Amino acid sequence: MAEGTGTVTTRRLRTGRAPILSSPVAVTRDNVAELIDRALAVHSTNAADANYLHRYFLGEQPVLRRLKKVRPDINNAIVENRAYQICKDRTDSLAGEPITYSAHNASKDGGESVSASVQLLNDACVAADKHACDLELVQWMNEVGVGYRLVMPAPTIAEDPSRPFVVASLDPRSTFVVRSNSVFREPLWACTYVTDPETHEVTYTAYAPDRVFVVSHGVVLSEGHNPLGAVPIVEYQANPERMGVFEAVISLFDAINEVESNRVDGVAQFVQALMVLKNVDLGDTASEARETFKELVELGAIQITSTSELPADVEMLTAQLDQEQTQTLVDSFYKTALSICGMPFNVGGSASTSDTGAAVTMRDGWSNAENRCKETETLFKRSERDFLRIALPIVRAATDVWLEPSDVEVKFTRRNYEAIQSKTQVLTTLLGSGKVAPRLAFQYCGMFSDPEDAYDQSMAYVDEQESKAREALQATPGGDAGGDSEDPGDGDEGGVSARGMGTRTPSTSVAQEGEGQ
């Protein structure tokens, strides 16, 4: 927002949310209120910036407060909310499809049990509505640069073990994590607070690895044990700068709004053009002239008397903006903003071409957009590991499922159905080669959002078909129920046979069966 006096205008520079750092200290009942006050010195600035960005995203932008000194009666404020568009596009691209888990190394000993355990973890995430939480979290990340997730044991965990934990996306304007002032930046403690809408009293809840404190007005209202043994609030970053996706181009968006508002003003001023009267006598006094002019305007015509010595004339004072050049300026602003934000653009170009495949991803900024998404994915996965370190012990206590964070791979499923034909060819080639474990073929073809579940279902399907083939063979007169008959899957052209899946067909060796595991 512009601030200043006279003709000098300054703008607040926003450069991302500052991390809150502290020396390692034990959080106790005696010092928790003081620690919160210290952290608020940094968080208050972050919260003010986050609130501005959030309201900017919602459409509350500086152009709505524009002042116009010339003809102030014509003052249109047009908000072309590109910030909303960019945030929503990036959020849908990253988390439009569920973020799931798969076994990181299911080929090691006990691979099937690891795969089954990861599937139970996915089921627990579905029961906790984690996908909806991910959408809210990623949107906050794109708006203000950071997001926060709270994970706690479910209150009904004893009655419903299938829902061992609950998750919630917290408002970054009222949440912060204090990290160690070291190279590793480990979380020391975290805090979230709420404001009473009637009394405006603020109540803080501080989470240390071993204790939970509720503080108001510098007084500890309650203290309890933290059963998790870790800080249950996990911080996520959209980028290393901790900036919102549109934060770097706010000035360009403000310029677009100003130009668009002036364009509408130009149209209004053309329609409401001023009338110029030359050598026309409307009365002896100013009040009489105003009344006469008002009557003539209401009638829709003006009668004038003109002489050769004193010619009279009535004309409209009009001037129009060059709409073509103005649109070129707007397109330039918008294309520059999209390029900086790492969003695809086709401003001024054709939306339909003959390009296909990789050419499309390389044209009009799509490859740049993909690289920005990969950056956010990498940082998201790092925070997701912290989430798993908290969630997995809860799952273990409720379901006796033993998993380590290193056993779990975070999967973004946003592009699984692009280039599906090429991915299918990769899968069939790997399965038909006979030299790649089928589980690896499912994992690296990139066709499945959950390759472990797809592999398990495919193995079960092949076993079912094999069983039906054996039953049909036994029912055939003269059929051999033994293991010397020809494998019915050997003639598959695409290589996706029972033999290729590594199943227990009569002609599949024990070694090949082990390879399939």
* CA–CA–CA angle 39, 45, 50 (5° rounding): 115
| CA distance readout (Å), 389 to 87, 126, 178, 233, 428 | 29, 18, 18, 12, 37
The predicted structure's pLDDT at residue 13: 75
Which of 25-29, 75-79, 113-117, 231-235 has the weakest average pLDDT?
113-117
The predicted structure's pLDDT at residue 321: 62
Give dist(CA 102, CA 111) in Å, integer.
12
Confidence of residue 171 (pLDDT cuts 50, 70, 90): very high
CA R_g for the chain: 34
Backbone angles phi, psi at 21, to 5 degrees: -115, 150
Decide if pLDDT at 296 tops 60.
Answer: yes
The predicted structure's pLDDT at residue 230: 95
DSSP state of 172: G
The predicted structure's pLDDT at residue 495: 42
Decide if pLDDT at 222 tops 70.
Answer: yes
pLDDT over 70 for what percent of the chain?
Answer: 74
| C-alpha 269 chain-centroid distance | 41
Tally: H helices and E strands in the chain: 13, 15
The predicted structure's pLDDT at residue 497: 45
Structure tokens, 43: 């968080």
Q: Which of 96-100, 122-126, 415-419 is modeled with the greatest confidence?
A: 122-126
- What is the CB neighbour count within 10 angstroms for residue 160? 12
The predicted structure's pLDDT at residue 142: 97
Decide if pLDDT at 141 tops 80.
Answer: yes
Q: pLDDT (tens digit, 9 = 90+) per residue, 453-505?
A: 788 788 889 899 999 898 888 888 765 544 444 444 444 444 444 444 544 33
Give strand ranges (E) for 217-305: 219-225, 233-237, 274-278
At 150, the amino acid letter reads: L
Give dist(CA 231, CA 209) in Å, integer.
5
The predicted structure's pLDDT at residue 489: 45
User: CB of 485 within 8 A of CB of 477?
Assistant: no
The predicted structure's pLDDT at residue 109: 54
* CA–CA–CA angle 503, 102, 369 (5° rounding): 125
Of 457, 458, 459, the C-alpha closest to 503 is 459
- What is the CB neighbour count within 10 angstroms for residue 178? 25
Decide if pLDDT at 156 tops 70.
Answer: yes
Annotated domain spans of the chain = 17-273+321-415, 275-317, 416-517
The predicted structure's pLDDT at residue 196: 93
Which of 114-128, 282-296, 414-428 has the weakest average pLDDT?
282-296
Give dist(CA 300, CA 451) in Å, integer.
76
Instruction: Give the mean pLDDT of 358-381.
Output: 79
Helix, strand, coil tally for the chain in percent (to 5): 45, 15, 40
Decide if pLDDT at 71 tops 90.
Answer: no
Confidence of residue 309 (pLDDT cuts 50, 70, 90): low
The predicted structure's pLDDT at residue 418: 63
Strands 20-22 and 175-180: parallel
- HEC-encoded secondary structure of 317-358: ECCCCCHHHHHHHHHHHHHHHHHHHCCCCCCCCCCCCCCCCH
Dihedral class, residue 348 (left if φ above 0, else alpha if ψ from -120 to 50, else beta):
left
**3-class secondary structure, 119:** helix
Structure tokens, 330: 């707007």
Instruction: Give the mean pLDDT of 136-165.
Output: 92
